[in-house]
Structure 1
Amino acid sequence: MTYSGLDSKVVVVTGAAQGIGLGYAQRLAKEGATVALVDRSERIHDAAEGIGSAHVVDVSDPDSCAALAAALDSRYGRIDGLLNNAAIFSTLEMKPFWEITVEEWDLLMAVNLRGPWLVTSSMLPLLRKSAAASVVNVGADAVNMGRPGYLHYVASKGGVTGMTFSMSHELGEFGIRVNTLSHGPIYTEVARETVSPAQKEAMIARQALHRTGGPDDLTSLAAFLLSDDSSYLTGQTISVNGGLIHR
C-alpha cells in the first residue's frame, strides 16, 4: 500500500539506528519520503546508508536539538513529518518502583518524555513551513496494562499520550496534526532485558492474535499517520497490540 503525499514530504525519525525506529525510516523511504534519521548513537551513519541523511543527536539536550533544527533548515528548509520514537526501554532492568534510583528515573524521563517535547519544540518553525505537517509520538500500551516492573517507563509513556492531546490543540491552529502510535510488545533484532521467554509466551497467549508483533506491524500505520490520507485525524491514540488490551 502507498499513501498520499509521502513522496513529497521530508520526515524526521528519532531513535532510528536500529529496531523499530529503523523500520519506520525504511518504510517511509520506500513510500518515497525524504527521511532524516536521528539517533544518539554513531551507528546512525551506517543505518541511514541508502535510506536518508544521518544525524547524531541527544534528544534530551536542548542544544543538540537546536543544532539538529539548524542543520535540517539548511538542508531541507522545512519539515513535513516528525516521528518521535527515541526512548529507553530494551535495556531496562525490571524492578519494583521503590528500587528505581533517582538517576535512572531522571535519565529515562529526559529521553522518553522531555525528548519528544524538546524535539517537537525545536522542529516547530520548520513544521510550520509545511502545508500539511504531522507529528507522531510513539506511546506504549503498557500504560493501560497496569504492568509492574518498570513504573518509570510506564509513567513516561503515559506522559507522552497526554502530551499528544495537548499538542494537538495547541498546534491545530497551524494545521499541524499530532497523534500517538501506541503499541504492545514488538520484537526486533534488539535484545530485550525486560521480558523473559516465559513472559513473552504468556503475553502472546493473552492476545487475540497468537503471534509475535514485529516492526512491519507498526510501520504502515506510521506511514498513514504521516501521510495526507489522515488529514482529519489528530489528538488520537491508536493502539497496535494484537488484541492484548482494548481501550
Structure 2
Amino acid sequence: MARLDGKVAIVTGAAQGIGASYAKALAKEGASVCVADIDDPAGTVAAINAAGGQALGVNVDVSSAASVRQMIDKTVAAFGGVHILVNNAAVFGKLALKPFEEISSDEWDKVMAVNIRGVFECCKAATPQMRAQKYGKIVNIASGTVYKGTPMLLHYVTSKGAIVALTRAMARELGGAGIGVNCIAPGLTMSDNVKSNTDWAEPLINGINASRAIKRDQQPDDLLGTLIFLSSPDSDFLTGQTIVVDGGSVMH
C-alpha cells in the first residue's frame, strides 16, 4: 500500500520544474493531485495520468484570494477533500542577481505578493476543509538562503525568511485541529529555470557545491523523500519545523 493512498494533495507552481517533481512524487505514493499553476499545468497532469495516477489541472494566481478559493473548490469537487497542501509557487528562477539598492519597488512587491501572500492565501483557503476533516498536512517551501544571508537576492531571501516564521506561527494555531505545518528549505536546485538563468553562472554553482558536505549539484529528486515524509502519517507528531535539504551546506 502506498503511503498516501486515499489522500488528496494540492501542489502550487507545479506546471514545471521542482513543483512538477513534487506533484508526480505525491501521485506515485497514491495521492490524487491538483496540479496548480499560473502557467498551463496540462503537461504535468498528462504525465501523472499516463503513469496511472490521478490528477487535475487548475490555473491559479496564488496572490489572488478569489483564484485560490476556486482552486480549493475545484479540488474538493473532483476528489472529495484536501489533505496535503504544498506551497511551492514562488518567484525565483528568473530573478537577476543585483545589489538591493537596484531592486525596484515593483519587483520587491511582486516577489512578496507571490512568495509570502500566496502562501497565506493558500493556507487560509485550505484550512477550513482540513479542520472539517480534523487532519491536514501543509508543507511550505523556504530556502537554505535564509540561513546563509545570501547577498544579491534580498527580496527573495527576505520572503523565504518570512515563510519560516509563518510556518512556526501557523503550526501553533493549527496543531489542535490535527493539521501539521512544516517547511522544506532547499539548497540551489538545478531546475529548468535555474539552468537557463545566465546569472547562475558555473563559478557560482561550483562555489555552492564546494560549500556542501555532499559535493554535487542538487537535483529536484533530492527533495522528494523529505516531501513524502512531511506529507504522510510518518510525520504526524512533527510540526513547526524547517528541514534544510541542501547536501550539508547549511547545518543548524
CA distance in 1, matches of 2:31, 2:124: 22
Aligned to 1:219: 224
In structure 1, the gaps of 5 or more residues are none
Query: TM-score under structure 1 normalisation?
Result: 0.95
Could you say if the C-alpha distance between residues 204 and 229 of structure 1 is closer, same or farther in structure 2, counting changes exceeding 3 Å? same
Quote how far apart the aligned CAs of 1:235 are: 0.4
Q: In the alignment, is the contact (CA less than 8 A) between 2:11 and 2:22 conserved in 1? A: yes
Q: Which amino acid aligns with 2:140?
A: N
Alignment of 1:45-60 (within 5 A): 45-51=42-48, 52-60=55-63
Amino acid at match of 2:34: A
**Structure 2: distance between partners of 1:78 and 1:163:** 24
Q: Where does residue 33 of structure 1 map in the other structure?
A: 31
Moved more, 11-20 or 186-195: 186-195
State the Cα distance separating 1:181 from its structure 2 match: 0.6
SS in 1 for 2:243: strand
What percent identity do the matched residue pairs reach? 39
1:170 is aligned, of 165, 168, 173, to: 173
1:170 Cα deviation (Å)? 0.5
Rounded to whole Å, the distance in 1 between the matches of 2:71 and 2:222 is 29
2:52 aligns to what?
A: none
Report matched runs for 1:191-230 at 5 Å: 191-230=196-235
- Relative to structure 1, the CA distance from residue 205 to residue 135 in structure 2 (aligned partners, 3 Å threshold; closer, same or farther) is same
Which of 65, 86, 91 aligns to 2:89? It is 86
- What is the CA deviation profile of residues 172-197 of structure 1, one whole-angstrom value per residue up to 9, with x for unaligned ones? 11110000111111112332344211
AA partner of residue 128 (structure 1):
R
Aligned length: 244
**With structure 2 as the length reference, what TM-score do the two structures score?**
0.93
Amino acid at match of 1:207: R
- Relative distance call for 1:161 and 1:225 in structure 2 (3 A) is same
- By how many angstroms is 1:8 displaced? 1.3
**Would the aligned equivalents of 2:134 and 2:177 in 1 still touch at CA under 8 Å?**
no
SS of equivalent to 1:177: strand
Q: d(CA) in 1 for partners of 2:68 and 2:135?
A: 22
Question: More displaced, 181-190 or 217-226?
Answer: 181-190
Report the CA distance shift for 1:14/1:207 in structure 2 as closer, same or farther (over 3 A): same
Q: Is the CA contact 1:13–1:25 (under 8 Å) kept in the aligned structure 2? A: yes
Gaps of 5+ in 2: 49-54
CA drift at 1:113: 0.4
What is the alpha-carbon distance in structure 2 between the residues aligned to residue 172 and residue 245 of structure 1? 28
Larger relative CO (CA 8 A, sep 6+): 1 or 2? 1
The residue type paired with residue 244 of structure 2 is S
State the 4+ residue runs in structure 1 displaced beyond 6 angstroms: none
Q: Indicate the residue corresponding to 1:18 in structure 2.
A: 16
Distance 1:63 1:132 in 2: 24
Distance, in Å, in 2 between the alignment partners of 1:158 and 1:24 is 22
1:204-238 CA-to-partner distances (Å, cap 9, x unmatched) read: 11111111111110011101100001110100010
Distance across 2 between alignment mates of 1:181 and 1:202: 22
Aligned-residue RMSD, C-alpha: 1.3
Query: Which residue number in structure 2 is paired with residue 236 of structure 1?
Result: 241
Partners of 1:122 and 1:132 lie apart in 2 by 15
